[in-house]
Structure 1
């Protein structure tokens, strides 16, 4: 039975990561970041000579160049998923490729006519979402910026970006602190949902809660609008209940002032564990001198992504909507 390129790369990364993990008593994810980096640079710096020789032998048998960027990304993310199952933290979640594909398609349609764009993801995680989209848009994204506070995740994002050979500037910080990043052409993000514990920092935001902690996902939307160019588009993965929460009225008023709501696409329930965790893609455009609200907001329920004809049909409808409203 033939082994796919993704399986071959996964086997290499997994075996070498486990080897590094056992010799140096690291977590699997830390060892994986190290292994991916060794493979990318073609050199193994390790104090354990026996391990160094074993690793060099394995990497030598598989050249990086013989695999596509996206196969490398997929295999690396499979290994990341394995590591996350063993060591689950609530913030260690990954945006599935199927959702990245839909957001990539939307980004492409909304920025049609622009030869090159810059991207920002203020909640980068392992960078699977942004790397998947950059590979999908094949050279259209000139440079991307990613912000992530978790050091393990940013290390994985760094290795993943190298293996995908994509230009990303990485920032290890709380994305709700001041960002020293030029405004991007577009923002894409799987928003962290929940309360933001830093009330002092939240006080600098219009969307801070009047009492108690503010919603992190609301503050991320406001921060993103500050860091996108006038007329730029934002694509957020948001909870289905975004506009039904206790602070939804405040969010709605803010968006009326700052942005045009372009669309809300409900993703199929089958992509999520349960109804509570189900999400939609919210599409916004930052207001500018030449922007105006769409004639009608794009509201759609995405069919099951396994239903090819229904998905094609939906994509055609979205394309038509963009043509008529952009």
Structure 2
């Protein structure tokens, strides 16, 4: 760990030099730092950064020994810098990368439900891309196979997409990125799989919200509710969705209205309530919702309803995997 801390400190110093010289948010400085390192050349536009800064950066980059770092270490450092950038730039909490352990939960379910790898996987709230990339990495590793997935990401924040682009490159992934409001018409073919950590809150564009059956009758509509409907509209027939959603969408007053509506639109496969200790604020607690779109090869079946024990306990994922296997064997 001390080695990682020392390496991170050197990277942070290089990022800070560039950020100060260009007077940009830290996220932009992180993106440009990795672009410089990957290309082996310091980008200069209209005299910025100046000659003195280029000299400082060259010296800082030499200290990183970048070419000899492993792919995993590069991505780990990039992820840590991204976390710091989102925090330091004062960005919304929802833009924080999704914890890697949740990618493990999704990949376990993905593995049971989907056997093909030559499919499109999309994330309409991509952010930094950490959830999508971690899921794909785990799927490829578990099958000891090549990555044949076609990846697509949508986000309305260009700075986040820049970070996602760097993350894809560091992982050796190809991804099509689209900067747009994901609640507008998508510019992509319908993916066979959609996975996402959905943004939570109110959607400010009331006129567009009226295009959704789940829009609020008064005031702003809930973005996460509209997102689920948008996923259904854009998911391929028989396709699967793996969505991290707030618990309020499943239970309580909102859930009592939303879940019956959802049951008519898709085949619900599973709801996995995530451990409480993953969330510092009880209002932020989430569950993994998995459903399959209607199509020629899909039908209703038994729903896996379970709650994950604290992921700080090693036995938690083992117990979940056992429940998953029992459910899968009964529904085959």
**Does the alignment reach a TM-score above 0.5?**
yes
- Map residues 236-251 of structure 1 onto 2, 5 A cutoff: 236-251=243-258
Q: Which deviates the most, 79-88 or 45-54?
A: 45-54
Go from structure 1 to structure 2 and tell me whether the alpha carbon gap of 1:141 and 1:9 turns closer, same or farther (over 3 Å shift): farther
Cα distance in 1 for partners of 2:113, 2:147 equals: 13
Instruction: Check if 1:264 corresponds to 2:267.
Output: no
Q: Which residue of 1 aligns with 2:180?
A: 173
Aligned to 2:318: 312
Q: Is the Cα contact below 8 Å between 2:203 and 2:222 reproduced in 1?
A: yes
Corresponding residue SS for 1:256? helix
Are 1:220 and 2:227 counterparts?
Answer: yes
Distance 1:67 1:137 in 2: 23
How big is the shift at 1:63?
5.6
Q: Give SS of 1:230's match.
A: coil
Q: CA deviation at 1:250?
A: 4.2
Point out the more displaced range, 21-30 or 121-130: 21-30
Give 2:143's aligned residue: none
Q: Which one of the candidate residues 127, 145, 150 is aligned to 1:125?
A: 127
Measure the CA separation in 1 of the matches of 2:129 and 2:256.
32
In the alignment, the residues of structure 2 paired with residue 310 and residue 65 of structure 1 have an alpha-carbon distance, to the nearest angstrom, of: 38
Q: Deviations along 1:202-221, whole A, 9 cap, x unmatched?
A: 11112222232221111111
TM-fit CA distance, 1:59? 3.4
Q: Is the 2:104–2:135 Cα contact (8 Å) retained in structure 1? A: yes
Shift of 1:158: 1.5
**Pick from 298, 301, 312: which aligns with 2:307?**
301
**Contact (CA 8 Å) 1:242, 1:248: kept in 2 or not?**
yes
State the Cα distance separating 1:287 from its structure 2 match: 1.2
Contact 2:267 2:292 in 1 (8 A): yes
How far 1:65 moved relative to its partner?
A: 5.5
Q: Residue 141 of structure 1: CA displacement?
A: 4.9
SS, match of residue 3 in structure 1: helix
- By how many angstroms is 1:8 displaced? 5.8
Say if 1:8 and 1:233 are closer, same or farther in 2 by CA, change over 3 A. Answer: farther
Aligned 8 A contact 1:270 1:304 in 2? yes
Gaps of 5+ in 1: none
- The runs of 5 or more residues in structure 2 that have no matched partner are 141-145
Deviations 1:277-325 (A, max 9, x none): 111101111111111112x210111111121123212212213322332
1-structure distance, mates of 2:34, 2:28: 10
Q: CA deviation at 1:196?
A: 1.0
The whole-number CA distance in structure 2 between the counterparts of 1:141 and 1:182 is 17
What is the CA–CA distance in structure 1 between the aligned matches of 2:220 and 2:14, rounded to whole Å? 43
The corresponding residue for 1:279 is 286
What are the Cα deviations for residues 15-39 of structure 1, in whole angstroms up to 9, with x where unaligned?
Answer: 2110101112112111111101111
Secondary structure of 1:17's counterpart equals helix
Deviates more, 1:242-251 or 1:17-26: 242-251
| Alignment TM-score, normalising by the size of structure 1 | 0.91
**1:98 correspondence with 2:105:** no
CA–CA distance in 2 between the matches of 1:229 and 1:64? Answer: 41
Q: Quote the offset at 1:2 in angstroms.
A: 6.2
In 2: Cα distance, 1:229 partner to 1:53 partner: 52
RMSD: 2.1
1:74/1:141 CA distance change after superposition, 3 Å: farther
2: CA distance, partners of 1:94 / 1:115: 24
Residues 265 and 299, structure 1, Cα contact 8 Å, conserved in 2: yes
- Alignment partner, residue 53 of structure 2: 51
* TM-score (normalised: structure 2): 0.89
How many correspondences in the alignment?
Answer: 322
| Structure 1 partner of 2:23 | 25
Give 1:115's aligned residue: 117
Match of 1:191 among 172, 189, 198: 198
Q: Distance in 2 between matches of 1:212 and 1:37?
A: 43
